[in-house]
Amino acid sequence: MNIFVSILLCGAFLVYLANGFSGNFPILSFDEGYTHLFGENNLIVLRDEKSVHISLDERTGSGFVSQDLYLHGYFSASIKLPGDYTAGVVVAFYMSNADMFEKNHDEIDFEFLGNIRGKEWRIQTNVYGNGSTGFGREERYGLWFDPTEDFHQYSILWTENLIVFFVDNIPIREIKRTSSMGGDFPSKPVSVYATIWDGSNWATNGGKYHVDYRYAPFVSEFLNFILHGCAINPFEPSKCNEMAEFNLVASRGMSPAQRRKMTSFRRKYLQYSYCYDRARYEIPMPECVIDVKEVEQLHGFDPVTFGGRRRGKRRHYPVPDASSSL
């Protein structure tokens, strides 16, 4: 990447920070940015070459992966989730390097968790760094819309010191790198993935409801692909030196208007956060910032987990990383 491209990246991102939308980033066709990962005929690229369907049936799930590895940037897709009965179904849009760093991989996840008929999909976000899978940092949220009726944009901003998750350009979660996090903050080049798979053992009510293949195939649709970062050879990281200015600009964080939107979202739709789960972590993780209003929201949603006395020990269900489906 030359310095001219770096300047364009920073300029586009300055506009993004000012206006809170991603219209300044180029949208790629599927073949420009991605390739088939698994699932035989369960991945279909439509004739416009900008839309992709991935599906889960009794034979297999499916997925695709970016052609390049990236170190920092802005990554996005518009997604429409399957409707009707979807318990146990997991759709994931995430970044990982587990194929290269089996014991110390990094990962940044959007996971969409299906539900029984009449119940809403939930979003889960999670972050791992340097193989820190023993310390889950998951959060779960409801949504203000039905994600099965239309496409909605899900985006991840990742810099050397900051990660922000967005839904329809509204920031829903921010993770700032702290010195006490050590290697738990993702720092190595990653690929970008999208998958659909069977998560019956954990995804819906801790595994109470499984995938019912009478409702298959479960089809998730993707379009508006943005891969706006430094494509890198993991063995030649110096090629991303020009991204330093991009990281500096992006790490300044959100505008006051964006931060207000994030605060409003979290106080209405947050359903679980590891930062407030004292049965799991007696002392909050070092990056956690405690918000009294979030505590009130979580207590109202789940008073057993997030407030008052508990009788006995609460059962904790395993939450695998998105790459475990492969």
**Conformational region of residue 168, where left means phi above 0, alpha means psi within -120 to 50, and beta covers everything else:** left
Q: Who contacts 112 (Cβ-Cβ below 8 Å, separation ≥6)? A: 79, 81, 90, 91, 92, 121, 122, 123, 124, 147
Length of the chain: 326
Which residues are catalytic, by number? 107, 111
Residue 180 three-state SS: helix
d(CA 95, CA 192) in angstroms, rounded, equals: 4
Question: How crowded is residue 214: how many other Cβ atoms within 10 Å of its Cβ?
Answer: 7
d(CA 171, CA 161) in angstroms, rounded, equals: 16
SS3 string of 234-260? CCCHHHHHHHHHHHHHHCCCCCHHHHH
d(CA 10, CA 8) in angstroms, rounded, equals: 5
